[in-house]
Amino acid sequence: MSKTATLSSAAPKPSFWRRWRFHLSGLLLILPIIYVPKYFETLALSRGLMGLGQRPAGDVQVGPWKLQFAEWRVEPPKSDPAGMVKTFTMAQCAGCENEIRAVYVRVGKPRSLRAAGSIFFGSPHRAFATVPIPPRTAPDAELWVTAEGWDGSVHQAAWPIATASPATVAWLKNQGAN
Amino acid sequence: MNATFAKSARAALLGALLTASAGVLAHNPMAECKPAADKEQIQCTGGFSDGSGAAGVTMDVISYDEQILVPGKLDKDSKLTFKRPDGEFYVLFDAGPGHVVEIDHVDIQ
């Protein structure tokens, strides 16, 4: 007699199911515990306890202003209906918040202020920008940061993708290989 | 309270829990351009990544020397059709500062 047949004769189907349902309930209670560390990490990141983002990406001097950048999450660009996008965070230098009107970022040098790229939104202490990363971008390409002052002045600075996000460079190299 | 009601309430709660999500609805601008059927014309479509259209939003066709060749607004279907200009140009979907999409003429084929 096979093992299965022995089991089914020893335990009729309803009681067998009931017993396993009990164990499954226990499993369902345990499963969320696995995600607890990730949950608290996300919470800490959102509350700013981990700094600007998961990985500090250094300071960029844009004209008279020093802007501090971070990679929000250390990961390759994410798929979005608008294409592959990557999120960065930025904090303005102390005292600069009254001088800076807007900060933009994009891949490659902007043709004009109108086409300066994605705008950083949020507080001067932590603003977010989601940048489309064209899959054909060269891994050694640069992000360009454009800062516009309330006095009408416009300043630009290049920020290598390799400095901004090594994860994005790795993804771009992989794209090129494909 | 009857058992049927309790059962259906439980099923509804389970359904609600399974379908609930904390997804973030991004609002990134998006645009695409492709040659129209007769190849002489180009049709561009604008919109946002949350699925909303962009009727009335500015979409300009600009030459590499920053001359606006076609000052356009998207129609009620969020589309703009124009004759392919001679020379090098790009299409700029402009939904406000920092909400732009640039499409180079070499990418329209």
- Tell me which residue of A23, A41, A148, A132 sits closest to A79, measured CA to CA: A132
Containing structural domain, residue A80: 52-177
- Give how far Cα B55 sits from Cα of B12, B59, B73, B94, Å: 39, 10, 8, 12
- CB contact under 8 Å between A114 and B100, yes or no, is yes
Residue among B28, B64, B92 minimizing CB distance to A115: B92
Question: What pLDDT, on the 0 to 100 scale, is given for residue B16?
Answer: 57
| Class of residue B13 by CB neighbours under 10 A (exposed 0-12, middle 13-18, buried 19+) | exposed
A78 and A28 assigned to the same domain: no
Per-position pLDDT tens, chain A of length 178: 455 555 555 555 667 778 888 889 989 998 889 899 999 999 999 999 999 999 999 999 999 999 999 999 999 999 998 889 999 999 999 999 999 999 999 999 999 999 999 999 999 999 999 999 998 899 999 999 999 999 999 999 999 999 999 999 999 998 866 6
Residue of A nearest to B102 (CA): A115
Question: What pLDDT, on the 0 to 100 scale, is given for residue A18?
Answer: 80
A41 located within any domain: no
- C-beta of residue B80 within 8 angstroms of C-beta of residue B72: yes
Question: What pLDDT, on the 0 to 100 scale, is given for residue B22?
Answer: 39
Question: What pLDDT, on the 0 to 100 scale, is given for residue B2?
Answer: 59
A42 located within any domain: no
Residue B64 to chain A, least CA–CA distance (Å):
8
- CB contact under 8 Å between A130 and B28, yes or no, is yes
- CB contact under 8 Å between A80 and B51, yes or no, is no
Q: Does the ipTM exceed 0.90?
A: no
A16 and A92 assigned to the same domain: no
Residue B44 confidence (pLDDT) above 90: yes
Containing structural domain, residue B77: 28-107
Residue of B nearest to A115 (CA): B100
B39: left (phi over 0), alpha (psi -120 to 50) or beta: left
Helix spans in B1-107 (H):
3-19
B41: domain CATH number is 2.60.40
- Tell me which residue of B49, B42, B97 sits closest to A110, measured CA to CA: B97
A interface with B, Cβ–Cβ < 8 A, is: 80-83, 85, 102, 104, 111-112, 114-121, 129-130, 132
Residue B20: pLDDT band with limits 50, 70, 90 = very low
Residue B37: pLDDT band with limits 50, 70, 90 = confident
Give the list of residues 6+ apart from residue B51 with CB closer than 8 angstroms, or none: A81
Question: What pLDDT, on the 0 to 100 scale, is given for residue B101?
Answer: 93
Residue B94 to chain A, least CA–CA distance (Å):
8
A21 and A101 assigned to the same domain: no
Residue B40 to chain A, least CA–CA distance (Å):
26
A43 located within any domain: no
Question: What pLDDT, on the 0 to 100 scale, is given for residue B23?
Answer: 39
B87: left (phi over 0), alpha (psi -120 to 50) or beta: left
Total number of domains constituting chain A? 2
Residues from chain B contacting residue A81 (CB–CB below 8 Å): 28, 30, 49, 51
Interface test with B, best of A114, A119, A131, A148 (most B CBs within 10 A): A114
**pLDDT (tens digit per residue) in B58-105:** 999 999 999 999 999 999 999 999 999 999 999 999 999 999 999 999
Cα distance between residue A119 and residue A99, in whole Å: 16
The 10 Å Cβ neighbour count of residue A102 is: 18
Enter the tokens of residue A157: 């600075």
Cα distance between residue A24 and residue A20, in whole Å: 6
Residue of A nearest to B49 (CA): A81
**pLDDT (tens digit per residue) in A51-78:** 999 999 999 999 999 999 999 999 999 9
Residue B40 confidence (pLDDT) above 90: no
- C-beta of residue A155 within 8 angstroms of C-beta of residue A146: yes
B11 located within any domain: no
Total number of domains constituting chain B? 1
A137 and A173 assigned to the same domain: yes
Question: What pLDDT, on the 0 to 100 scale, is given for residue A90?
Answer: 97
